[in-house]
Amino acid sequence: MNLVLTGSTSGIGWETLLALLPQFDRIFLPVRNIPKAEKLIQTLAEKEKIVLIPMDLSLMAEVKKGAEIILSQTQEIHVLINNAGGMYPGGKRSKEGIDLSFATNHLGHFLLVQELLPALIKGKARVIQVSSEAHRIAQHPGKDFSLKKSSNTLSAYASVKLFNILFTKQLVNNYASDGLTSYALHPGAVRTAFGSEASTWAKGLIAFTKLFFISPKAGAATSIFLATAPAKSLKNGSYYKNKKLSITSTLAKDSKLAQALWNFSMEEIDRVLGNASPDKQEENDGIL
């Protein structure tokens, strides 16, 4: 059994890794900071199972290259947990010019799934998206999927967490017939370094509310549950919290919005990686 886990070097990602390490034969960890990851895994009893993959999820060129490395080492992936994410000031952009919230929380994971698709299908994989209850306050994106008009940390974060759920549902719509399953989840409000790159007011809000947060170990529980529970006990394409089914917002149920996000994401990847002209991208931007 092979696992791919993003965002594994801190917080709930690290706790997820610790819990799942004994249950998988090989674990591929896409990480931005290789020296940090190497130092961390030296403490693990089964570190020989782990393969570190250089990858900054905010950079599509790195995601594509990292996926190629994974595929060069395995033909089957059985579980992919898209755990990495972050809160960033509205308008902050990656080196490729993409809104950083959109790139890190959605587009990088979207591309990772596309690139790993042959191995995911062969392994009849579970694709797990770490979303958030913040998706409930997201507004309809209209034509602004890439958050060009987003003005603050919270609205951008809410939007991308909505996108995580929409992506989950569309992935099932497209590939359930190939044996793929996908789930989204809310981990809970977790005491981690999450939000360290957010705007000043958002950092203040997070610092105050951390009084009521749960531990990273508790926050990892639903990810671990979805990765290991018998398939027959889970509902494909659904959203979970506290290891139980949960109802999403009305927007997260919008199948037309899910398809539009998928179409836009494909166009954006083509544009960023140089496979489509800017004129074509502008023409297709956010079609609903």
Is the pLDDT at 207 greater than 50, yes or no? no
Q: What angle do CA 267, 285, 94 make, to 5 degrees?
A: 70
pLDDT for 108-125, tens place per residue? 999 999 999 999 999 999
Strands (E), 152-279: 181-186, 239-241, 244-246
pLDDT at 199 over 80: no
Give the span between the Cα atoms of 142 and 288, in whole angstroms. 8
pLDDT digits (tens, 9 = 90+) for 234-264: 999 999 999 999 999 999 999 999 999 999 9
Across the range 196-204, mean pLDDT stands at 46
CA 20 to chain centroid: 18
pLDDT at 203: 44
Q: Is residue 57 part of a domain?
A: yes
> Residue 272: inside a domain, yes or no?
no
- Mean residue pLDDT of the chain comes to 88
Q: Could you tell me if residue 189 is inside a domain?
A: yes
Task: Identify the CATH number of the domain in which residue 151 sits.
Answer: 3.40.50.720
- Residue 69: Cβ-neighbour burial (10 angstroms; 0-12, 13-18, 19+): middle
Note down the domain range covering 195: 2-253
- Domain annotation covers residue 271: no
Q: Give the 3-state secondary structure of residue 29.
A: strand
Domain tally for the chain?
1
pLDDT tens-digit readout, 28-81: 999 999 999 999 999 899 999 999 999 999 999 999 999 999 999 999 999 999
Task: Lowest mean pLDDT of 12-16, 30-34, 215-219, 232-236, name the range.
Answer: 215-219
Which pLDDT tens digit goes with each residue over 77-96? 999 999 999 888 877 899 99
Question: Is position 134 within any domain?
Answer: yes
Q: Looking at residues 152-170, what average pLDDT do you find? A: 94
What kind and span of H or E run contains 209?
helix 200-209
Q: Give the integer Cα–Cα distance in Å for 97 and 77.
A: 31
Amino acid symbol at 61: A
Q: Look at residue 10 and tell me if it is in a domain.
A: yes
Contact between 123 and 68 under an 8 Å Cβ cutoff? The reply is no
Task: Report yes or no on 258 lying in a domain.
Answer: no
